Each structure stands twice: as C-alpha cells, then as structure tokens.
C-alpha cells in the first residue's frame, strides 16, 4: 500500500480527532488533512505515542490518533506498555511500517524482516490490535477499527510514494507550535 | 544510626505532597526512585484525588507532562537523576526548546546529606546541576524541610512562564 493512500482513508474518518504525526507521515498528513489540531511537534524522535497518551488523558472526550513510524516506535517501545496500562479508550495508534528510517537515508530498521509491531502491541495489552497490507481491506475494516474503544493499534504495511519535502520548520517551528496551541486553547475554551 | 536514615534528617513527605496538591499537580507520572519511593510515590499512589501514571522510561513522562500542560492540566514527573540523564534529549527538545512547563521531581541517588550537590563525591550527583545549568533548566534544591514551601512558588512560576523546572531532593523522603 502507498502510505499516502492509507493516510487518505484515515483522513476521511478522522472527524474532529487530534492527530499526532511524525516525520514523513507528518509531512504527507498536513497536505492530506490540514487541520488546526494536527500536532506535529513531538520534539524528540520516538515521543509521538507518549505525547498522544498525554493528550488522551488531558482530553478524554476527544479521539486522539497517532501516526507513528516504525523507527520512531522502536525508540519508545515501552510506551506501548504504558499506554496499555492506562488504557485510554480514546486513543488510536497507527504505525506505518516501511522497514526503514526513511527521513534519515533509508537505512533499514533493526530486525526489518522479523519484527511484528502488532505482536508488540498485543503482548503489551492494547484492547484492539490489527494490521493492514492491502488497501481494499483497509477501506472495508477501517471504520469499525476507528470506532472501537481503544487503546487500539494497527500496523500499516506501507511503501513510500513520492517523497515529501522535509521542511522541518513546518512541524517544529514556533509558528506551527503557536497555531496548534491557539487552536487547542480555543477548543478548551469552547468546552468551558 | 546513619545520617542518611536518621529521622531528623529525612524530608517530610506529607508536607511535600500537601504542597504538590496545593500547586494542583494532580497527575503524577512516575518511575520509582529510592530517595522518594517510601515518602512520595507510595503515598501518592494511595491518594484518591491523584491520577498516577506509571511509565516504563522517563522520557515518556516528559512528553506526557508536556501534552497535559497543553491541555491546561498540571502534572509532575517523578524520577531518579539517572532517569533525568536518560531523558535529556526529550527535556531539550520538548521542555526547553518548545518552552513547556514540565515539572520534574528528581531524587538524587547517592547524594551525601547536607553536602551541596556540587561538592559531592559521586560524579552522578556532582554533574546534575552543571548539566541542567548548561541546558538552561531552572532548578530548586530541597535539602531541608524549610525548603519544601518553595516548591509551590517554583511550580507556579514554571507554569506562568511556560518553562521546565527540576526540583532536586537531596535527602530521603519519609512518609
């Protein structure tokens, strides 16, 4: 599956979810699903899942979606256990598995052809775990998966399409952070 | 009786928890640390009005606390200085560069009671403050029970100015 095709399917179903995205997925995501509650400033590689958990605790009434990378998640595998322990029903965790550090020269991840991220998530104790390798199945099963109470986890076996331009100021820069914080503040004000 | 465990030299965990709750730090993200385990983490784990999140690695806590701050919820990350050292990239990227109020409560394993951290024999204690100073992270050292009240103002300032804070516990904390 092309990663962009997967992201388009997720975007179709995101509703008002807050989405945490990293690296290549993040750059593609902001083109596919521009939204004031896209959180792209995870600050340190591997931290997307932990940021998402913080948002899931802080915003229990809102769906939190994390678009993780395989290399990123390998840096924070313990977060799977932490998330499963807290068990936030509003957290949906995708990992785009392409087997390489795409943004850093496409070197293979360790154990590229052996590891199972869904296996990790299942063993950690996520409530719902699945994986998708073809787009037709994804289209059919994604609505049910995304509506299920979490924490839920799906591995997306993807290949990169046309490489996005990696302008990191778009995700880490002060303006990107200011816009997200202002949007989240407005969301919180509207609830109070 | 050693000076490390002598009751007169232990920090008052009840007083610290009262100040933490006064500062509205009602989500505690933690890994166990022997300096604060009996006096802080165990009692906090039994507080009905505290949400305790047990984590696997300290840098997770930096991200969790930062996201909670963005949601206008206050929290504290409890850990040992070894975990702080392990989390420095997250502290650098998320707390310092993004200017977010991540409050870290750090037990100094191996610190000699009554000796300023900078003069301790142990490298793992002696280097904490210089590293945090170099990273421009504000710190508050709790050496005596009379220091505990300072936590409230320090936490309030961290949130008001949206910047991190490290509170260093230089003695064991008693329940």
Question: Taking 90 as the threshold, does the pLDDT of residue B116 lie above it?
Answer: no
Q: Enter the ipTM.
A: 0.95
Residue A72's alpha-carbon distances to A67, A79, A136, in angstroms, are: 10, 11, 27
Give the CA-trace dihedral at A66, A72, A76, A81, to 10 degrees.
40
What's the pLDDT score for residue B5? 46
Query: Taking CA atoms, what residue in B is nearest to A191?
Result: B71
Q: With an 8 Å Cβ cutoff, are B65 and A54 in contact?
A: yes
For an interface test with B, give the residue of A20, A22, A47 to mutate (most B CBs within 10 A). Answer: A47
A157 band by pLDDT with thresholds 50, 70 and 90: very high
Say if CB A83 and CB A129 are below 8 A apart.
no
Phi/psi of residue B146, nearest 5 degrees: -70, -15
Share of chain A above pLDDT 90, in %: 79
How many CA within 13 A on the CB side of residue A156? 30
Length of chain B: 175
A101 band by pLDDT with thresholds 50, 70 and 90: confident
Beta strands in chain A (DSSP E): 18-21, 38-39, 64-69, 91-97, 100-101, 107-108, 128-132, 152-157
* B109 Cβ contact partners less than 8 Å away, ≥ 6 residues apart: B33, B34, B35, B80, B81, B82, B124, B125
For an interface test with A, give the residue of B25, B69, B70 to mutate (most A CBs within 10 A). Answer: B70
Length of chain A: 192
Considering the four listed CATH numbers 3.40.50.150, 3.40.50.20, 3.40.710.10, 3.40.50.970, the one that applies to the domain covering A3-191 is 3.40.50.970
Q: Is A91 helix (H, G, I), strand (E, B) or coil?
A: strand
Please give the average per-residue pLDDT across A81-92, as a whole number. Answer: 98
What pTM was computed for the model? 0.95
How many CA within 13 A on the CB side of residue A100? 10
Please give the average per-residue pLDDT across B116-122, as a whole number. Answer: 90
What's the pLDDT score for residue B13? 98
| Domains, chain B, with CATH or none | 7-174 (3.40.50.970)
Question: Taking 60 as the threshold, does the pLDDT of residue B174 lie above it?
Answer: yes
What's the pLDDT score for residue A134? 96
Query: Taking CA atoms, what residue in B is nearest to A80?
Result: B56
Please give the average per-residue pLDDT across B98-117, as a whole number. Answer: 94
Per-residue model confidence as pLDDT tens digits over B7-65? 558 999 999 999 999 999 999 999 999 999 999 999 999 999 999 999 999 999 999 99
Residue B140 forms beta bridges with which residues?
Answer: B167
Q: Where are the domains of chain A?
A: 3-191
């Amino acid at each position: 599956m092309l990663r962009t095709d997967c992201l388009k399917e997720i975007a179709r179903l995101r509703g008002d979810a807050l989405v945490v995205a990293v690296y290549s997925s993040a750059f593609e995501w902001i083109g596919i699903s521009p939204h004031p509650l896209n959180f792209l400033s995870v600050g340190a590689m591997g931290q997307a899942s932990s940021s998402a958990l913080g948002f899931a605790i802080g915003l229990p009434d809102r769906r939190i979606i994390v678009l993780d990378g395989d290399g990123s998640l390998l840096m924070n595998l313990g977060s799977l256990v932490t998330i499963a322990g807290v068990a936030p029903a509003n957290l949906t965790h995708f990992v785009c598995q392409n087997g390489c550090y795409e943004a850093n020269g496409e070197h293979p991840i360790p154990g590229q052809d052996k590891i199972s991220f869904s296996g990790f998530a299942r063993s950690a104790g996520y409530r719902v775990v699945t994986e998708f390798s073809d787009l037709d199945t994804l289209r059919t099963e994604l609505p049910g998966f995304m509506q299920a109470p979490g924490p839920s986890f799906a591995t997306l076996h993807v290949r990169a399409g046309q490489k996005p331009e990696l302008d990191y100021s778009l995700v880490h820069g002060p303006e990107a952070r200011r816009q997200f914080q202002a949007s989240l503040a407005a969301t919180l004000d509207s609830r109070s | 009786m050693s000076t490390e465990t002598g009751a007169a030299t232990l920090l008052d965990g009840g007083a610290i928890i009262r100040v933490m709750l006064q500062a509205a730090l009602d989500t505690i993200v933690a890994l166990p640390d022997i300096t604060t385990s009996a006096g802080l983490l165990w009692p906090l784990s039994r507080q009905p009005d505290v949400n305790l999140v047990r984590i696997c690695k300290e840098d997770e806590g930096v991200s969790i606390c930062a996201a909670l701050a963005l949601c206008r919820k206050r929290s504290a990350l409890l850990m040992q200085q070894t975990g702080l050292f392990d989390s420095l990239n997250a502290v650098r990227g998320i707390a310092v560069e993004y200017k977010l109020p991540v409050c870290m409560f750090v037990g100094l394993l191996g610190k000699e009671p009554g000796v300023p951290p900078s003069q301790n024999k142990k490298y793992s204690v002696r280097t904490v403050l210089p590293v945090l100073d170099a990273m421009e992270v504000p710190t508050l050292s709790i050496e005596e029970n009379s220091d505990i009240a300072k936590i409230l103002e320090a936490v309030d300032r961290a949130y008001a100015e949206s910047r991190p804070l490290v509170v260093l516990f230089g003695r064991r904390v008693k329940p």
